[in-house]
Amino acid sequence: MAQQLRLLDSALRLRTALARPGRYALSGIVCAIGHNLVLITGDAIGLHYLPATIISFCLIGPLGYWLHVRFTFGAKPAFAAFCRFMAGLSLGFPLSLLIMFLLCDIAGLAVLVAAPITTLALFVWNYLLARWAILRGRRAAVL
């Protein structure tokens, strides 16, 4: 009986691990759309991408944490995890600005084109960051 329970637990953990990238993608798409809307709208009203990126960070960062905690990883919200998540986003912030600078200021691309390219470039970074911040030192609930 104990062997069967261990096998069942292992199967549930495998199922959760395999489903997690799909759930991350859905949460990430919501955040990516929000981020790109902020940048593109900011550009349309004459706002430079730097302040628009800061606004997006303040709005979309907490939304992303909530989506990843509840939907992607099935974990309980924790202030320490939120701080790690936002700190990790802060580490990606200069990278995002660098890519936007290279695409907009050096390559001459419009924000409408550069913002989605930057978002795609940071997708894997953000997944690893979210997983580390939210699941550090604990197991995710099985969804």
pLDDT tens, residue by residue, 62-110? 999 999 899 888 889 999 999 999 998 898 889 999 999 999 999 999 9
pLDDT-derived band at 125 (thresholds 50, 70, 90) equals: confident
Q: What domain range includes position 21?
A: 2-135
3-state helix, strand, coil in the chain (%, to 5): 85, 0, 15
Q: Is residue 96 part of a domain?
A: yes
Q: Is residue 143 part of a domain?
A: no
Q: Enter the tokens of residue 24.
A: 């991350």
Q: Is residue 8 part of a domain?
A: yes
Q: Is residue 37 part of a domain?
A: yes
Structure-model confidence comparison of residues 21 and 62, the more confident one: 62
Q: Are 142 and 16 within 8 A, CB to CB?
A: yes
pLDDT score, position 19? 61
Amino acid identity of residue 96, one-letter, is S
Q: How many domains does the chain have?
A: 1
Q: Is residue 141 part of a domain?
A: no
Question: Rounded to an integer, what distance in angstroms lies between the CA atom of residue 32 and that of residue 27?
Answer: 9
Q: Is residue 25 part of a domain?
A: yes
pLDDT score, position 77? 92
Question: Rounded to an integer, what distance in angstroms lies between the CA atom of residue 125 and that of residue 127?
Answer: 6
Question: Which residues fall within 8 angstroms of residue 16, CB to CB, at 6 or more apart?
Answer: 74, 140, 142, 143
pLDDT score, position 48? 95
- Does the structure show a pLDDT above 80 at 116? yes
Name which of 10, 137, 120 is nearest 81 in CA terms: 137
pTM assigned to the model: 0.72
pLDDT score, position 92? 85
- Does the structure show a pLDDT above 80 at 17? no
Q: Are 104 and 53 within 8 A, CB to CB?
A: no
Q: Is residue 104 part of a domain?
A: yes
What share of the chain in percent tops pLDDT 90?
Answer: 52
Q: Is residue 75 part of a domain?
A: yes
